[in-house]
Amino acid sequence: MSRSGYRLAAATLLLILLQGCTMMPTSRVEPVEATAAERAFADGEFAVAAQGFLDAAAQDRSRRDAYRLRAAEAWREEGDLARARSVLEGVTPKRLQADERLRLTLLQAELALDAGQPADALGRLAIAPESVPAPYRARFHELRARAAEAGGDSFGAAADRALLDTHLAPAERAANTRDIERLLATVDDGLLYSRSAALPAGHPLYAYAGRQLGARGLSLPRPYERGGAIAGGADRPPADVDGYRPYTRVALILPLDGAIAAAANAVRDGFFSAYFAESRSKPQVRVYPVGDDTAQAVATYQQAVADGAQAVVGPLARPAVAALFEQGQVQVPLLALNRGGDLPPPPGSVSFALAPEDEGVAAADRMHSRGWRRVLVVAGADEHAQRSAAAFRERVQRNGGSVAAEIRLPDDSPNYTPLIRQALGTVGSSSVASGGDTAVEQNRQQVAVDAIFLAVKADQARLFAPQLRVAGVYDVPMLATSQIAAAGANPRLDRELDGIEFADAPWLFTDPPGLPRRDTLAQTLDSARGGGARLVAFGIDAFRLLGYLDHLAADPNARLAGATGDLRVDGFGNVLRTPAWARFVGGRARPAPDGALIGDDVQFRQP
């Protein structure tokens, strides 16, 4: 936790001390030096406060140890742990009250950590967490996490960070989440499984550990604890053998008017295409159109509940989803069609999105499975590209690889040659000799990376690929996100992309069983053609997820083969998507053989 977080706890402590809490005797008259020191502490004048507390200790021998403890805490806030350690010498716990003894323990544990003694720190912090008063809980868990990590217990450190999370300010939770994921990534498979199984019911680390196990393709020792929250509807039919259990009455909330109306209509087309393709029992669906107003989306959810909906699908816009998540509780199960920003889905809700991060993670894992560890990242400046590139970078590093260099393609210039040359200079490249003699094959470079990751739009990729070849790079495999194909097929222009593999919805280039056929829908629905087809696939999966929510929530190892990829629900209520892989061949997208290597003549023909 940051020192600003500690100072928040210190401010809380000061308030307790000044108001005279039950832990302190209320009849005692404090020395004027102590009162002045508390004011200096509140003003951030910690060195002045420390001296004032020492003066108070000299004035009141009966409270000597308590004032020396406050002086040490002031030196700690000043960042001078050496003086804090010196001031604490001779302080005896038996001369302190219960609250003061706990503060002494916390400070001594921090000093032990500073001295490189994590075992001593953990020994001092061997206290039942529930016995620690709320003002000190954050510092307690943070110190235990640091001590466990310093002592080599990454799982234990992650467990305390998970307990710490609810005590942090929103701005600090994202960094804490990254720390939890970093720690769990270092735990081997067997230990991760066994210690996850040993976590007590309700422990907040289980959701993180389950996500890590799932990412490694490992089963979870027990279900997540969100399943009962999304059951809803006592009059629902029993589940089929495959887990399908539809609701009876469903509301579909979509912004059919406004800035994203075209996207919403494509999602609606997909939803009802899957609805009519389902031959088993299915719900009555009522569509609630909304606009761009987030308050209207919240009010519409409440109206749908009042109208008798057992479950709600939507809204679609991220601000509207965030507004619903901010309510904290949902009255009936909610399948939100976007993320809520930094807000997790509240109990009883699930978040489904075509998240760019899913494709970045999938690309990193695909490279890792092929032994490609050192990569070059090429990304556009738009939000979609940056989000997928960030997720890719983080996953590569977690997998033990490295990003050798990054290129950001500008939107205002088609000339990428200077950026390519700069990147080649950074990663290292050399001319390739032909036939083992001194002759050099014309314009061919051997580049010191195993692969290239592309998070760019189609028009950028069509310009980048030939310029890369002009720079002499022909034989480095390239993996891309679905952005490379999002503008729709153009076989003539897309020949420049031959051999590049990209993550995308399998429904766009195959006919997954049990789903409406794209070629059939394209005969009657404009949205099933071109770039809007991905949103149709998204709508198909929204309907299918609705019927399998109980099954996916109850079984953490369950998967649903969807139009957009393989789907599963993590312990936080997020639908995680593993996309399929396609490959440009002759300017057309074709399913990529799972084990195929892509650094071949099809991809890297010379001009």
C-beta separation of 542 from 267 below 8 A: yes
57's torsion region: left (phi>0), alpha (psi -120 to 50) or beta? alpha
Stretch (H or E) spanning 166: none
**Confidence label for 104 from pLDDT (cuts 50, 70 and 90):** very high
Q: Which residues contact 43 (CB under 8 A, 6 or more apart)?
A: none
Q: pLDDT value at position 178?
A: 86
CA-based radius of gyration for the chain? 29
Q: pLDDT value at position 435?
A: 54
3-215 CATH, one of 1.10.238, 1.25.40, 1.10.3470, 3.50.30: 1.25.40
The tens digit of pLDDT for each residue in 411-444 reads 899 999 999 999 999 999 887 765 544 444 557 8
Domain 321-607, architecture per CATH: 3-Layer(aba) Sandwich (3.40)
The tens digit of pLDDT for each residue in 113-148 reads 999 999 999 999 999 999 999 999 999 999 999 999
Q: Which residues contact 422 (CB under 8 A, 6 or more apart)?
A: 407
Q: pLDDT value at position 344?
A: 78
The tens digit of pLDDT for each residue in 140-195 reads 999 999 999 999 999 999 999 999 988 888 778 878 988 998 999 899 999 999 99
CA pair distance 505, 482, nearest whole angstrom:
8
**Confidence label for 4 from pLDDT (cuts 50, 70 and 90):** very low
CA pair distance 515, 599, nearest whole angstrom:
33
Q: pLDDT value at position 19?
A: 46
Q: pLDDT value at position 598?
A: 35
C-beta separation of 453 from 480 below 8 A: yes
Q: Please state, for a pLDDT cut of 70, what percent of the chain lies above it.
A: 90
* pLDDT greater at residue 21 or residue 422: 422
Rounded to the nearest 10 degrees, how much is the dihedral formed by the CA atoms of 523, 528, 530, 532?
Answer: 160
Q: pLDDT value at position 437?
A: 46
The tens digit of pLDDT for each residue in 339-379 reads 988 777 888 889 999 989 999 999 999 999 999 999 999 99
Q: What are the residue boundaries of the structural domains of the chain, listed by start?
A: 3-215, 321-607
CA pair distance 109, 258, nearest whole angstrom:
57
Q: pLDDT value at position 231?
A: 58
3-state secondary structure 492-514: HHHHHHCCCEEEECHHHCCCCCC
Mean pLDDT across the chain, nearest whole number?
A: 87
CA pair distance 590, 511, nearest whole angstrom:
12
C-beta separation of 551 from 230 below 8 A: no
| Rounded mean pLDDT, 484-494 | 83
